Amino acid sequence: MSITNTKPVAFVTGGSRGIGFGCASKLAELGFNIAINGMRDESALAEPIATLKALGADVVYCQGDIGSADARAAMLEKIKAHFGKLNVLVNNAGVAPKERKDILEASEESFDYVVGTNVKGPYFLSQAAAKWMIEQKAATPDAFFSIINVGSISATVVSVNRGEYCVSKSGVAMMSQLFAARLGEYDIPVYEVRPGVTKTDMTSGVTDKYDALIEDGLCITKRWGFPEDIGKAVGSLASGNFPYSTGQVIMVDGGLTMPRL
């Protein structure tokens, strides 16, 4: 078990790059020890792991597909063996369709891939983590525990060329409310952070499109979002600054979804 086990522990899925790394970095800066998950071999993650350690965190890497029940169980067991506890779960890992296709042409295979990773994975990871958090809360009532789901404006903003992604993110939105309602009796808040157009690997193929849209007034704050923007919101929630706001959606979209005339 880690010798730094007095620090709170956060598990960030998809935490080795993009929004996930932005969240993990902020949490490390705030004094959390960090477990991150990803699909790549640990040998490919020397740089992000070194960065998190330089911020003062003890870091554990949990390789695996969150869509797999066996992988999810192995991840939590690794965290339990190393840290002995888990204070915050950040469900960030997600995928986009491998090909953007009109909903009249999209395949069941693509739907299963996206929904299995983006909804089924975090749903059952939250279930397992929540049971462990309930046990910990009973043993340490003054400790703060929470689940934070990274959603997307695609929960409500329609993109007909990636319908499976929109459906998956609307599922994450309902999942957040379900777990918030269920865990209320244990004083374990659940939140959704909902990013807008954010600079990541996932959006690299549509940079020109969104550069033009942002220039044309798509967002009130006239720029792309960055992983650190989402990290700041997640860090504040994970620190217990909003204990009376369970079930709420924190928009981090530069005002994109605000109705305007």
pLDDT, tens digit (0-9, with 9 covering 90-100), for 205-250: 788 899 999 999 999 999 999 999 999 999 999 999 999 999 999 9
Q: Is 223 left (phi over 0), alpha (psi -120 to 50) or beta?
A: beta
* Beta-bridge mates of residue 252: 195
Confirm whether pTM is higher than 0.75. yes
Q: Which residues contact 83 (CB under 8 A, 6 or more apart)?
A: 1, 2, 5, 9, 33, 35, 58, 60
Q: List phi, psi (to 5°) of 89.
A: -110, 125
Residues in contact with 48: Cβ distance below 8 Å, sequence separation at least 6, in sequence order:
16, 17, 21, 24, 36
Q: Which residues, including other chains, have CB under 8 Å from residue 140's CB and lie 6 or more apart? A: none
| pLDDT (0 to 100) of residue 205 | 79
Q: Encode pLDDT of 75-133 as tens digits.
A: 999 999 999 999 999 999 999 999 999 999 999 999 999 999 999 999 999 999 999 99
Give domain 9-251's CATH number out of 3.40.47.10, 1.20.1050.90, 3.90.1150.10, 3.40.50.720.
3.40.50.720
Residue 61 annotated to the active site: no
Q: How is residue 210 written in tokens?
A: 């969104």
Q: Which listed residue (61, 113, 123, 165) is catalytic?
A: 165
pLDDT in tens, 57-69: 999 999 999 999 9
Please, which pLDDT band fits residue 2 given cuts at 50, 70 and 90?
A: very low
Q: How confident is the model at residue 4 (pLDDT cuts 50, 70, 90)?
A: low
- Examine the pLDDT at 42 and tell me if it is beyond 80: yes
Distance CA 58, CA 48 (A): 13
156-189 confidence digits (pLDDT tens): 999 999 999 999 999 999 999 999 999 999 999 9
Residues 6+ apart with CB under 8 A from 58: 2, 4, 7, 33, 34, 82, 83
What CA–CA distance (Å, rounded) separates 119 from 223? Answer: 29
